[in-house]
Amino acid sequence: MFLRFLEDTNWLSILSLIIGSAILSVIGDSIGTKYGKKRISLFGLRPKYTSRLITALTGAVIAVGILSVMAALSQDVRTALFGMKMLKQQMYDLQFQLSQNERDKEQMRLSLSETAASLDITGFELDTMRNDKYLLEQEKNELEAALRIMREESSQLKQELKSLRSEAIALSANVLLGQTAFEPETSREDIISDLNALKQQVRLNILTKISDESFTRLRDVSVEFDSEIEEALINELVSSDERQYVRALSDENYTAGENMRVMVRLETGESILIYEDGKPVYRKFFMNDRENTKSTPETILHTFLRELRNKAINDGISPEPVTNNVGTLDGEAFFNAVEQLGKITEPVIISAIASGDIYTEGPVVINIIFEE
């Protein structure tokens, strides 16, 4: 360390300072002695004190000169003489900034430690979430498979239940069992007679439907009507000034079995003439397209009859509650029309002509004709 101190010391400046001081001291002493011998007096002082004053001034000049020379030659001297206070302030500021940096560094280290710990926790949670996702996907696949199996079983059960119901139900609710119409001013006796005929027709229709649907013994089936409703219906028909219709409908679903009891519901409504005998019910333009394989005569006539039904309902015809039909076309008449349509090559108009007067209660009975 001592050798380093010797190497770092500016010996040239020290020697220059010593030599300069010695020279200036000799010069000052010579001047003081010279003026002392001459017994010169300054400011009214005695020569002895004047010599001392000159020596003091010479020493001051020496000090100023030395400091000036050293300040001119060395930045460190200038800093020590004129910038020490500022240097101390800078050192204080640097120490404060260093301390602040140390605190910030420590804070950053703590934050980094917390962040690393948080990252570890986040990584663990992410792994846990991945595992949960994998488990949830497995559960989802298992549930979807179970749901698919349940749907298949449900569909199968519905089919079986539907089959069982269709086998068990001998007569469905709201099936049209018969109908008749009454003109205004019909006598009470004629109304009762016609209602009895309707009731007899209903019994035959019920027995026919049940015998077709099940093996129930017909003697075990009883058909009943509500007497109070029937009496009120007769009074309404007697006092009516308009044409009225009466419909007989099954009241609910009935299953085959012993002592089967069928309740029949009677309904009435105003019977209005919708289509006159011989007048068109529905007409449609048709152009035969031989290239269209889907446009066969059967499909064309089925579409025509479906559109006719919709038009009849819109015109006021009351459809059957269960089937929503307004009438039936004889099978022989349908296939004759198909055969005729298949032979036609020119554009025609397909017309459904009313076969007799058609009222609100129907049925819609028609003849199909083809017109150029």
Phi, psi of 234 (to 5 degrees): -65, -45
DSSP 3-state of 359: strand
Query: How far apart are alpha carbons 164 and 155 in whole angstroms?
Result: 14
DSSP 3-state of 247: strand
pLDDT at 161: 66
DSSP 3-state of 361: coil
**What is the number of other CB atoms lying within 10 angstroms of the CB of residue 114?**
10
pLDDT at 38: 62
> Crossing angle for the helix pair 84-168 and 75-82, nearest 10 degrees?
90
Asked if 69 and 28 touch (Cβ cutoff 8 Å), the reply is no
Asked if 17 and 70 touch (Cβ cutoff 8 Å), the reply is yes
Structure tokens at 226: 């509500």
pLDDT at 189: 92
Q: How far is CA 309 from CA 117, 296, 302, 355, 358, in A?
A: 79, 20, 11, 15, 13
Print burial letters for 191-211: b (CB count within 10 Å at least 16), e (below 16).
beebbeebbeebbebbbebbe
pLDDT at 46: 64
Intra-chain end-to-end CA distance of the chain, in Å: 133
Q: What pairing do the DSSP bridges indicate for beta strands 358-359 and 221-225? A: unpaired
- Sketch the domain layout of the chain as residue ranges: 10-82, 172-271, 275-371
Asked if 268 and 246 touch (Cβ cutoff 8 Å), the reply is yes
pLDDT at 290: 56
Closest to 13 (Cα-Cα) out of 104, 97, 74: 74
Per-residue pLDDT of the chain (372 residues; tens, 9 = 90+): 556 655 655 666 667 667 766 776 677 667 666 665 666 555 656 666 666 677 777 777 776 777 676 666 666 666 665 666 777 777 888 888 888 888 888 888 888 888 877 787 887 788 888 888 888 888 888 888 888 888 888 887 777 666 555 556 777 788 888 888 999 888 899 989 989 998 899 888 888 877 765 555 556 678 888 888 889 888 988 888 899 999 988 888 877 665 678 888 888 889 899 899 999 989 988 876 655 556 788 888 888 888 988 998 998 988 888 888 888 777 788 888 888 888 888 888 888 888 889 998 888 888 888 887
Asked if 180 and 245 touch (Cβ cutoff 8 Å), the reply is yes
Asked if 41 and 86 touch (Cβ cutoff 8 Å), the reply is no
